[in-house]
Amino acid sequence: MAEQLERVTAALELREPDRVPTLDVMEEYANIYKVLGKKPTPLGFLVTNRYASAVFDRAMPLLNRVGFMDSEMDRFSYDRTAAAVKMGYDAAWVMHVPIWRFRDSRIAEDIYGHYYDIVVDEHGNIATPVYRGGLISSPADWKAWDKRAILRLPEKANRTYAKIQKDFGGRIAIFASFLYGLFENTWQPLGFERFAVAVRKEKEFIRRVIKFYEDHYCLMIEAWADAGVPGAVYSDDMAYRSGPMLNPRVMDELYGDALRHITETAHSLGMKIVVHTDGMVYPLLPWFADCGFDGVHSLEPTAGVELARVKEMVGDRLCLLGNLDITHILVDAARGEVFEAVRDSILQAGRGGGYILAPTNSHPAMDVEHLRWMLEAVEEYGRYPLAEDG
């Protein structure tokens, strides 16, 4: 077992490794290719230039038919893992999401029934599409929805992660992931207002959708395990900055059994599984532990989440991941501020093990040099036994 995987496994099992592990969450083209020393072709002109977009629109049916976006996602997932290895992380959260189809140069749809605005980042790259609404409004729509592309995802995931694991698994712990989790995939295709009505008046419809995605998620885990990947990130944003999007009691009633099935499936295959959600998560933390997750990410400081409090609440049940600020510390802070933030996080959450340091999320404003400082600071402050305060 590579030292990186040993380090990460120890933290997830709430033991002290030799050093606080690090997790890469970067999903931004510009930074990934900066790390790799490559110059990506900025495809944003296909959206912003009216002549190019007209050609793009005409070519769209063919591009969707030949799986252009699927191939791009395969390449991107591989390259972002290579960048994490080159940076020197212990683990990488590797998204593989061959789910989008372009309607035209302005609008994208996905295989689940979401639609999005296509956006271009400041570097001219086509960025992650921005969710705008849903395409499913009734049980009849759900029944009629073409699910063949969803059912092909496990095969695509197995093929992609098998190559990534073969080429990089000896140097980094790979955590497989895809979009979306059960909560997002039940409310977003409907829109939240329609979802709220369905939860009250059409609960059997909602339960049927949840069951479909529960079984599908377990198939994805089987595909990842068969590829040799040691871990998974269950990504499912369930909270605003003000608190959970649904009452935790309702969350458990609707999703608790399904999430327990998902974590049990991962554990039965020898995998670790971490839950990711942004927002104010204090009310959800005990539930995450009850559902069987090994750890929780992102523990967002800009939502008021304090590592020391989370450690006190669930540090004996969940490994804590994240909490490093992506609005200032990893964007435009001085080197000394980055080192201080890393040191503070380690002192708050690293005692006794059970902490993996990571940014709270991926963001195009994060600076590669700041991420290097973060990794340097972990080497300085993260060796066990940890230095005393002061």
Q: How would CATH label the architecture of 3-36+66-99+135-381? A: Alpha-Beta Barrel (3.20)
User: Residue 71, exposed/middle/buried by CB under 10 A (0-12, 13-18, 19+)?
Assistant: exposed
369 close to 334: Cβ distance less than 8 angstroms? no
Q: Residue ranges of the domains in the chain?
A: 3-36+66-99+135-381
CA neighbor of 126 nearest in space, from 45, 71, 44: 44
131 close to 114: Cβ distance less than 8 angstroms? yes
24 close to 35: Cβ distance less than 8 angstroms? no
**Digits of tens for pLDDT over the chain (390 positions)?**
589 999 999 999 999 999 999 999 999 888 999 999 987 777 778 788 888 888 888 888 887 887 778 898 999 999 999 999 999 999 999 999 999 888 888 999 999 999 999 988 877 877 888 999 999 999 999 999 999 999 999 999 999 999 999 999 999 999 999 999 999 999 999 999 999 999 999 999 999 999 999 999 999 999 999 999 999 999 999 999 999 999 999 999 999 999 999 999 999 999 999 999 999 999 999 999 999 999 999 999 999 999 999 999 999 999 999 999 999 999 999 999 999 999 999 999 999 999 999 999 998 889 999 999 999 999 999 999 998 644
